[in-house]
Structure 1
Amino acid sequence: MFYRGKYFDGGDGREMGPKRQRIIDQPSSFYGASPGSSYMYNASSYAYASQPPPFPVVRLRGLPFDCTEADVAEFLHGLDIVDVLFVHKNGRFTGEVFCVLGYPLQVDFAIQRNRQNMGRRYIEVFRSKRQEYYKAIANEVSDARGGSPHRGGAKARSYDAGKDSAEHTGVLRLRGLPFSAGKDDVIEFFKDFMLTEDSVHITMNLDGRPTGEAFVEFPSAEDSKAAMAKDRMTLGSRYIELFPSSHEELDEAVSKGR
């Protein structure tokens, strides 16, 4: 699971706070390794005499263009992944990804995956720097807010018009959530509305893994329509797409993950 936006400049992922701790405390890792895995480190064993530990980020290159976060997690299985950031150019995935890991020593293990295969493609793995990762985030946020000249145009206007004309039933579908996002994150995203945990439904696939989508039930159709103002706003550095939905679509999506 990943959570972008609350990782500080220190060298280990425990500074992520409660959301970070939920990952460490899981009895079985989402990525196929238990907390007892040799990849998991106690940060106190990784000491630096005169300088802080390096920011634990690697860059992957050569990924398939239909690659998902789950594919990246499987490629780096056993490592404690804090964040996965796909790099885009002109609205298209470049085949590169930044991965923030839980501890600096895990970078060495990630480098060992260099030139291993994802499907039929071999993946290059490089050490990276905090500044490169932050620059990539800034570029993604700028593009999500309309900074790219390739965003917009007739296609985008038609897309928005379809959303505006859709009937509201009090239910919205969210797409593009970080896999780490919990109900509290969604409630915070819609903090101007009266939501409870019972009104937020994060969907899972057949393996019990988050799909990156969620459904939210608002007190009224008027509230869900007003909440559409949050469409394409960011949660962390991920921009979230909103779609008018229905209770029938909600029930069908939730039942598929059971």
Structure 2
Amino acid sequence: MAGGSAAQLRRGFSALKPGVSWPPRLRLRGLPFSATEADVRAFLQGFELARTADDKGDVEIIRRSVDGLPTGHAFAYFKDWEEACRARREKQRAYLGNRWIEMYVDWSPDWHREGPI
């Protein structure tokens, strides 16, 4: 399902997480440690992002639970699967600063909160 269409991702997501209603989310990996939410939003300019139900925002920089330092990962929430797939297709391995960014579909609601990174 790595390169799947939006319809395939939606079906897979529904099967794995029935009844879950958070917006589609991509995990970005390889961010410069100095990257901010605003930097990630600028990187994703032209794509329609969506706020989370708990109003965390449309982009979330992931920090280590031990000391709060950035991990080089972030979440970006999108309005729908089509937009998330388009962003992944168009921005996979694009550069943010001097780092190229990998983008993955993230299925779990809180993978980064399940323990220290």
Please report the TM-score for the alignment, with normalisation by the length of structure 1. Answer: 0.34
- Residue 176 of structure 1 aligns with an amino acid whose one-letter code is G
The answer to which structure has the higher helix fraction is 1
Structure 1 alignment gaps of length 5 or more:
1-161
Structure 1 position 216 matched with structure 2 position 58: no
Quote the offset at 1:224 in angstroms. Answer: 0.3
Structure 2 alignment gaps of length 5 or more:
14-23
Q: Hey, which bits of structure 1, 4+ residues long, moved more than 3 A?
A: 254-257
| 2:16 corresponds to | none
| 1:201 corresponds to | 60
Structure 1 position 235 matched with structure 2 position 96: yes
Percent of paired sites with the same residue: 37
Is the CA contact 1:203–1:254 (under 8 Å) kept in the aligned structure 2?
no
RMSD, matched Cα: 2.1
Quote the offset at 1:167 in angstroms. Answer: 2.2
Is the CA contact 1:172–1:216 (under 8 Å) kept in the aligned structure 2?
yes
Quote the offset at 1:256 in angstroms. Answer: 4.1
The alignment covers a number of residue pairs equal to 94
Quote the offset at 1:254 in angstroms. Answer: 4.2
Alignment deviations for residues 183-214 of structure 1 (CA, whole Å, 9 cap, x no partner): 00000000011336801111111211101001
Is the CA contact 1:193–1:223 (under 8 Å) kept in the aligned structure 2?
yes
- CA distance 1:184–1:216, shift in 2 (3 Å): same
Is the CA contact 1:204–1:211 (under 8 Å) kept in the aligned structure 2?
yes
Q: Which of structures 1 and 2 has the bigger CA Rg?
A: 1
| 1:163 corresponds to | 2
Matches within 5 A, 1:93-242: 163-165=2-4, 167=9, 170-195=24-49, 198-205=57-64, 206-228=66-88, 229-242=90-103
- Residue 207 of structure 1 aligns with an amino acid whose one-letter code is D
* Partners of 1:239 and 1:253 in 2: CA distance: 21
SS state of the match for residue 167, structure 1? helix
Quote the offset at 1:172 in angstroms. Answer: 0.5
Is the CA contact 2:48–2:83 (under 8 Å) kept in the aligned structure 1?
no
* Partners of 2:114 and 2:38 in 1: CA distance: 22
- Residue 163 of structure 1 aligns with an amino acid whose one-letter code is A
Matches within 5 A, 1:18-29: none
* Partners of 1:237 and 1:213 in 2: CA distance: 15
Quote the offset at 1:219 in angstroms. Answer: 0.7
Please report the TM-score for the alignment, with normalisation by the length of structure 2. Answer: 0.70
Quote the offset at 1:252 in angstroms. Answer: 2.5
* Partners of 2:115 and 2:60 in 1: CA distance: 13
Quote the offset at 1:179 in angstroms. Answer: 0.5
